[in-house]
Amino acid sequence: MKKLKDFSAWLSNNPFLVSSAILGIIYARWFQIIPIELNKDKFFDPSYQADNPFIIGIILFCTYIFLATSTRFSKNHQTLKILILTQTILVLCVELIFIWIFFPSQSKSTRCNEITYYISKYRSLSDPQWSYWQLTKWKGITNYETHFIGNSGASKIICDETNKQANIVNGPGVLIETDGEKPRRFDNYAWAELEDSQYFLASECTNWESGACESVSYILYECKLDYTACTPLSIEYTDYFNRQLILEANKSTNEISLYDDYEDNPNRILIFTYGENSRCYVDKCEILKP
Residue 43 has pLDDT above 60, yes or no: no
Position 268 in a domain: yes
Q: Is residue 166 one of the residues assigned to a domain?
A: no
Task: Write down the mean pLDDT value for the chain.
Answer: 84
Dump pLDDT digits (tens) for 217-272.
999 999 999 999 999 999 999 887 667 889 999 999 999 999 988 888 888 999 99
Residue 68 lies in a domain: yes
**Residue 219: predicted pLDDT:** 93
Examine residue 283 and state whether it is found in any structural domain, yes or no.
Answer: yes
154-172 pLDDT, tens digit each: 678 899 888 889 999 987 8
Tell me whether residue 93 is in a domain: yes
User: pTM for the complete prediction?
Assistant: 0.79
Q: Per-residue pLDDT for 211 more than 80?
A: no
List the domain range (segments joined by +) for residue 227.
183-287
Q: Does a structural domain hold residue 142?
A: no
Q: How many domains does the chain have?
A: 2
Burial environment of residue 36 by CB neighbours within 10 A (0 to 12, 13 to 18, 19 or more): middle
Domain boundary, last residue among 43, 71, 102:
102
pLDDT score for 204: 86
pLDDT in tens, 109-142: 889 888 999 988 888 887 777 788 888 999 988 8
Final residue belonging to a domain, choices 102, 118, 145: 102
